[in-house]
Structure 1
Amino acid sequence: MSAARPRVVIIGGGFGGLFCARRLARVDVDVTLLDRAACHVFQPLLYQCATGTLSIGQISRSLREELEHHENVRTLLGEAIRLDPAGRRVTARRPDDSTFDLDYDYLVIAAGMRQSYFGNEDFAAWAPGMKTLDDALSIRRRVFAAFEIAETLPPGPERDQWLTFAVTGAGPTGVELAGQIRELATRALANQFHSIEPEDARVLLFDGGDRVLKTFAPDLSARAQRVLEDLGVEMRFGVRVSDVRRDGITVSPKDGSPDADVATRTVLWTAGVEAVPFARHAAEVLGATTDRSGRIAVDADLSVPNHREVFVIGDLTGRDGLPGVAENAMQGGMHAAACMRRDLQGKRRKNFRYRDLGSAAYISRGHALMQLGPVKLSGLSGWIGWGFIHIAFLTGVRNRFSTVGTWLATIARSNRSDRTFILGGSGHPEEPYTWESPVHQGGSSRDTSGEDKTA
């Protein structure tokens, strides 16, 4: 690449980073897209990968393949760990712990958020979040292994623990996971076991608010709650999960009532998000202010105050209550690219204007919600609309056709086409034969960097 052209470094290959790189494809700049997984993951469908409907390959695509026809864009594997604003340099770490530097004229921080455990990082060992491919695979292993282990146990409290699933957070991800586990138990697994009845599996959904899907209109939220109740999901509102351990959780009511213990061996955490470590470091060295979750305050054009060459887009953007959704990241990525183009043309930058394209949440087969301004859809119509939206934004034509085919097969046959989960047993000391990941053997928390990683 020519050193005479402006150098653009984009950190993160999610929706924001990918859309920014695409928009710069025919601009007179050299673009480097840095990602610690080198693949784009369609996060809104991670829960379908976790519950066996879709495979990893259907919801992800190599960034190198996605951008191969963009001659001025290169992709690199690495994790951003240090920023030198004065020298306009980013230091990245390779998987082998060696490092390399990237110089930039423009920097786009699109690193996203990671799961937040509100200061209780030890919870992560027993309660995976839903942010990465690793998370989805971990949840798949835990959910399907729970049924398998229950099959080997006699009736009693120990079997009941394995057939009890606790989900924290009643936002879209929590609702989707809870609904899918109950649907899995009552449809796909219903006739496949001899000693247990999968339909007996309990799914408990915990939230500190007073209803599910608080970002949706109250009437849509109420409809979602009725569908979940019909599926058999047990909801507990006005509570927080104050402790997570190997064999259960502690639930603390917000009204001061006594704490309650719930015996469960499967806990799924969707209750909060926080900035990844690099974003917090970047805010500090840039002198930018952040909110409690680590979102970085930006000017109207999405650049960091006093650093017009640095843009922050997507979930990390701390301005005007911008939502942490894919549409915000996409629009932010395209806006940052437009600002660079206008700079090169000697034109004044425009302010960022977020256009709300609506919200959608999947509950179960034939039931989904869509909200677009005054338009509200639920049930079958919401489900069809939800499907069209997600197919439209999947990367790769092959992934779109494959996903549609899988969904149709799932509807017709009630099965889950990708239920494979991998246990240890290779003989390697770090891969013992266990349903848990090796990190649990030492009692420490798994990596929760929040960046997409390969399996």
Structure 2
Amino acid sequence: MSRMSTKPKVVIVGGGFGGIAAAQGLKNAPVDVLVLDKTNHHVFQPLLYQVATAALAPTEITYPIRSILRKQKNATVWMTEVTGVDVAAKTVATADGKAIPYDYLILACGARHSYFGRDDWEPLAPGLKTLGDALEMRRRFLVAFEEAEMCDDPALQQAWLTFVIVGGGPTGCELAGVLPELAKKALRPDFRRVDLTKTRILLIENSPCILNTFPGVLAQRAQEDLKRLGVEVKNGVKVTDIRPDGVSLSSGEEVAARTVFWAAGNKAAPVGGSLGVATDRAGRVIVGRDLSIPGHSEVFVIGDMAQATLRDSNGEPISEKLVPGVAQGAVQGGACAARNVIRRVNHHPTEAFKYHNLGDLAVLGRGAAIASLPGLKLKGYPAWLFWLFIHVLKLIGYRNRLNVLLEWAYAFFTYQRGARLITRRR
């Protein structure tokens, strides 16, 4: 942003779905836009699990933030980590000691995984929110087979071949569904001393059913598909302890497993706590009808950081239902926040954020998926093909779309994975 500019300064924190949508929504506005992110790239999070399971390379689901906003003349991008906000002084604090002033602020910092008070489990059971998380998950998954190949103790070998996934939401189900095929098809011919058909995948879900945000008939079909693919689904069971050598379950079962992945909960980025306004148990900022915070109409919070109420076409709240923490919610929230900034600049009343559910998708494995769309429910191959089409379409960059399409075609016909790199052992 030019030091000589007299235009209102809009600072956007976060280069994810919400932050990018907000920046693009201000493209033709009479404002200067500054986008802050601790990395230099946007990550297409719905395909992170494909990096974690060696199906795609990291470069195929990422795109430089500067390149996305290259043609937007009023937008500037800085790579820096935001540590807090001083709403009284209207400044954003960064890790390198800067205090960046703003006239309007849009926070879209996202969320991290929550261990529900057991943060000591994080080193033992990594979650999947960032590119770094995906690469660590890939490393642990591939190293497990290397350890099993060299192991002479049958019990220890089986522990290396046992994978526990905690959480039966979309991320947990996507991971669980792809792991059996990867182990028993892609990797099996490459190992000599270990029988990868003995690979065991357990999906642990505390609720009575996995994917409980989907209609019951689709969730039930998803559970059947996972079992068909070779996943052991345990509903109504809670993980009570995680150790380097295994996990304990509320059912009393002890599972010997050397690899545990976490997909059970989220908590908002801690920046929201510096605003001095109310937050919920997950750390999400409780926002108003226009996504601004109480007492500071110039500050907007969107995406996974916000607790926003679902509203009808008239802007009235719908019971106690909240906007779900999914990509389409962040994109729509970013666009709404941008429109409301423009309205405030022009001294017009702001609009209420009205979330429109365009549909929910979950892929479970080869030819297995479910889709809940407005007026339509799909399952099996039709849902799977629809999932493929939508995700390729939504990727940023023609190069990424082509590469992903080719990688998926190659994997479909050969069962092979092209990103099986272990860059460090521990």
Task: State the TM-score, normalizing by the size of structure 2.
Answer: 0.95
Aligned residue for 2:207, secondary structure, equals coil
User: Which residue does 2:266 correspond to in 1?
Assistant: 273
Partner of 1:131: 129
- Mapped partners of 1:153, 1:81: distance in 2: 45
CA shift digits 1:222-243 (9 cap, x unpaired) = 1111111111101111121121
Is 1:39 the counterpart of 2:32? The answer is no
State the one-letter code of the partner of 2:268: A
Q: Could you tell me how far apart the structure 1 residues matched to 2:264 and 2:132 are?
A: 18
Q: Give the Cα–Cα distance (whole angstroms) in 2 for the partners of residues 219 and 374 of structure 1.
A: 15
Q: CA deviation at 1:276?
A: 1.6
Match of 1:68 in 2: 70
C-alpha separation in 2, matches of 1:245 and 1:155: 20
The aligned residue for residue 54 of structure 1 is 56
Q: Secondary structure at the match of 1:299?
A: coil
Partner of 1:251: 249
Whole-angstrom CA distance in 2 between matches of 1:218 and 1:374: 15
Contact 2:371 2:383 in 1 (8 A): yes
> What's the counterpart of residue 210 of structure 2?
212
Partner of 1:166: 164
SS in 2 for 1:189: helix
Q: Are 1:178 and 1:203, in contact at CA under 8 Å, matched by a contact in 2?
A: yes
CA–CA distance in structure 1, aligned partners of residues 184 and 195 of structure 2: 9
SS at structure 2 position matched to 1:166: strand
Q: Structure 2: how far apart are the matches of 1:276 and 1:334?
A: 20
Matched AA of 1:140: R
Checking the alignment, whether the CA contact within 8 Å between 1:137 and 1:421 is kept in structure 2 is no
- RMSD over aligned Cα atoms: 1.1
Runs of 4+ in 1 over 4 A off after TM superposition: none
Give 2:30's aligned residue. Answer: 28
1:220-369 to 2 correspondence within 5 Å?
Answer: 220-253=218-251, 259-282=252-275, 284=276, 288-320=277-309, 321-369=322-370
Deviation at 1:57, TM superposition (A): 0.5
Q: Taking every aligned residue pair, what percent have the same amino acid on both sides?
A: 42
Per the TM alignment, residue 370 of structure 1 is displaced from its structure 2 partner at its CA by 0.9
The answer to whether the 8 Å contact 2:86/2:274 transfers is: no
Unaligned runs of 5+ in 1: 254-258, 424-434, 437-455
Counterparts of 2:20 and 2:325, CA distance in 1 = 16
Question: Corresponding residue for 1:396?
Answer: 397
* Secondary structure of the structure 2 residue equivalent to 1:159: helix
- Paired with 1:189 and 1:201, the residues of 2 have a C-alpha distance of 11
Residue equivalent to 2:194: 196
Residue pair 1:25, 1:70 contacting (<8 A) in 2 also: yes
Q: What is the distance in 2 between the residues matched to 1:92 and 1:392?
A: 35
State the 1:155 CA deviation: 4.8
Aligned counterparts, 1:57-136, within 5 A: 57-93=59-95, 98-136=96-134
Q: How many residues align?
A: 412
What do the CA deviations read for 1:352-386 (whole angstroms, capped 9, x no partner)? 11000110011111111111123111111001111
Q: Residues of 1 paired with 2:337 and 2:269: CA distance?
A: 21
Q: Deviations over 1:307-357 (max 9, x none)?
A: 110001011221221100000000000001111122223322111110001
CA distance in 1, matches of 2:30, 2:403: 36
Distance in structure 2 (CA, Å) of the matches to 1:199 and 1:179? 15
Q: Secondary structure at the match of 2:100?
A: strand
TM value normalised by structure 1: 0.89
Secondary structure at the aligned position of 1:234 is classed as strand
Q: Distance in 1 between matches of 2:114 and 2:207?
A: 17
In 2: Cα distance, 1:315 partner to 1:392 partner:
23
On the 8 A contact 2:270/2:283 being kept in 1, the answer is no
1:99 Cα deviation after fit:
1.9
1:426 is matched with which residue? none
Q: 1:21 & 1:188 partners in 2: Cα distance?
A: 41
Deviation (angstroms), 1:190: 2.3
Contact 2:269 2:305 (C-alpha < 8 Å) held by counterparts: no
